[in-house]
Amino acid sequence: MAGRPPQGGGASGGSVTAAPGVPAPPNTAAAASAAAGSAGSQNVAAPTPPAALRVKLSYKERRELDALPERIAALETEQSTLQSALADPSLWQRPPDEIRALQERHGAIETELFECLERWELLEAKAG
């Protein structure tokens, strides 16, 4: 039994200390509390920006927001009418200037409709 290493204290034993030349692991409890302390100060500042984003709409913005659904509906109706006209084969027998004007108006409606939808989304988000 003299050739065996003692149990419990050798290299295969349950020793928790670090080997010589190997740095000890950081104190995880201290590191966790330090991280929690710095995170805690960040959590205090987090509610401030959302409160700052919630701004009451001005009178003009409120009226604009109220009018947008009606404006969007009118644009969609005009767009539908133009699409039907452009799909009609007899349209293409008309003068090219008239056809070009309808195509340009169709493109302008697309742009205006997109802008109205973006503005509506922005005002709705601002209103909260």
Which of these, 80, 70, 84, lies nearest to 109 by C-alpha position? 80
pLDDT digits 0-9 by tens, 52-96: 556 789 999 999 999 999 999 999 999 999 999 999 999 999 999
pLDDT digits 0-9 by tens, 98-126: 999 999 999 999 999 999 999 999 999 99
16 Cβ contact partners less than 8 Å away, ≥ 6 residues apart: none
Q: Which domains does the chain have, with CATH numbers?
A: 56-127 (1.10.287.380)
pLDDT digits 0-9 by tens, 6-61: 555 544 444 455 555 555 555 555 444 554 454 444 445 444 445 555 678 999 99
pLDDT for 55 equals 73
Distances (CA, A) of 40 to 32, 36, 46, 51, 115: 12, 6, 10, 19, 42
